Copies of this chain bind each other. A is one copy, B any other.
């Protein structure tokens, strides 16, 4: 997946600029190519997800005759889901740390220390930075939604089996049909997405940042709307006519799809610079960076309200219509047209990199204008994509939670997870804390990972030479001098003085450090439900999951939207030309917004998205170990709290051991150290 997108990012740049030689590059061409790149990933995700889950199901259910019950099949399917979650954890969390570490590293050492441009090809970290955009935003987003896609499908199938046994439920006695629907809907969705794909095009011209975003946005969204409308019609036939399920189930599907779109739209309102929230952040720049940060956090917090209300209505509505299966199938509905939604989202980072590549390849201003237009649009789609990712993650996690609850039911024992019980409440409280821990760990990691890159870049500046013995540092100084004389971009070094950095090494280092930094959050995410479930019991675990989902949802929305809003408030300053304004107050304002943007970077690209993974992963882990938890409790008045606490000592032991190792001076991961500060402070002759 990464290879495909990385390769395609280059094609995009080529497509937008290559035509300079022959015919002029147009915005539409760029849009089409970038969108096609996104679509590669979108369709890869849905294709692999559906095929994988279907294959698993077929193989497992063939064994039914050989003793595999439907419940057991679902249980094994949860294993497939857990696999998807693990990959997602890796891609999203390590990817998130990678992308920001490379970004911060490249920025600090390039812009701040050496005084060169962000995308200057002489910066050894710039390739790592570009790779990072793909790793974090494309592969990370893909893996995240892959997990949601597979997770919602599994939750719906699991609930189909358990809920169909309940009399009076919307799918009573229709287990097979309900399971089939969970596979049928995504299949229909893929077909509709393919149709929608051909509707994306624009007649707009590339005018840099001044482009009419609304029109461009519509060009991209046409595809989504066509696919969505088609899906609604076909889903009706599939659900009601073919499978003979209640029409209420179809309502659930539609509700899910609509909720996803509305959440995306609200996200757009809070993060696009056409609307009040982002403008208000920019305005606060007048009173300094602190007020920008406060306002951004305020906007991020308020932006939790609409998605929560939408999700709440969707949950209550679908639950009334179809019980917990209704909630799960609405998540499937929301994600069914993921092929095209993801294509739209993945388009953003592709367009962003196209701009970077255009600069690195010394392409002309008109090409840059086209890529800038594409980039502006990309920022918005990336933000709406994040909103959609969170919404679907929450709905998926809630469905998995319901599936978990059904999976630990034992005949003759009525388990109660009453939220008024102190033990459940303690679970909710504990669960609500986990997203904060997870977000903090990932956020603090970025600085540490960035420090390693800076060390490497400095080393290269000093000792990386070309065949003529000219160092990279000397080459950069020469460029800076000559650019001052001749104007930026109007000079090229002779071959004996041109030094290209060793970018591979930076990529290697950021990969290594980001994986190292994800050990702590990754392990904790897996261990938390195990400790809670085995040490205390299923009631505590249910509370924990509910608390984590609710608190994680809010924190994720807040972080993603605050980050997006800060980013676009900075973009707004650029659009207004404040950076080069004659008024010093304007320049201060722009600087204040840059601070906001820097705070927002780990918010929106590292910690925020990582929370999606956290809540789904913990639910998936719980669902996977559900059979082991069945032995807790034996009667309604004995819910089995602490019944087998000795099992819980294992995960607890691993947790303690891990923490001990990670916080030791040698490993130096869970410490308060700041390698970055030390680095910056010894500002010795850098070049």
Contact = CB atoms under 8 A, between A and B. Distances in A.
B599 A293 contact: yes
Given A277-B672, A420-B401, A443-B294, A550 B549 contact: no
Interface in A316-343: 316, 318-320, 323-324, 327
A680 interface: yes
Contacts of A440: 297-302
A382 interface: no
Interface in A528-556: 536, 540, 542-543, 546-547, 549-551, 553-554
A47 interface: no
A31 to B, nearest CB: 31
B550 A394 contact: no
Interface residues of A, number: 96
Interface in A548-582: 549-551, 553-554, 558
A67 interface: no
Contacts of A315: 422-423, 425-426, 429
Given A287-B676, A677-B284, A298 B443 contact: yes
Interface string A409-422: 00000001111111
A420 B418 CA distance: 9
A680 to B, nearest CB: 5
A315 B428 CA distance: 12
Interface in A194-240: none
A277 B305 CA distance: 32
A419 B550 CA distance: 12
Interface string A580-591: 000001000000
A419 B428 contact: yes
B681 A439 contact: no
Contact of A405 (B305, B420, B550, B677): B420
A132 to B, nearest CB: 18
B294 A602 contact: yes
Contacts of A366: none
A302 B304 CA distance: 22
Contacts of A550: 425, 428-429, 431-432, 547, 550-551
A595 interface: yes
Contact of A546 (B304, B425, B437): B425
Given A318-B422, A428-B550, A443 B585 contact: no
A312 interface: yes
B432 A672 contact: no
Nearest to A406: B420
Nearest to A324: B422
23 contacts: A284-B447, A284-B674, A285-B677, A287-B677, A290-B598, A293-B595, A293-B599, A294-B446, A301-B439, A302-B437, A302-B440, A308-B432, A315-B423, A316-B540, A318-B422, A319-B422, A419-B424, A428-B549, A429-B550, A436-B558, A550-B550, A585-B681, A595-B595
Q: Which 8 A-B pairs have the closest CB atoms?
A: A319-B422, A290-B598, A301-B440, A432-B550, A276-B672, A405-B420, A280-B672, A286-B677
Given A298-B443, A304-B436, A308-B429, 14 more contacts: A108-B287, A279-B672, A284-B447, A287-B447, A289-B290, A302-B441, A311-B429, A316-B540, A324-B420, A394-B429, A419-B428, A419-B543, A429-B549, A595-B595
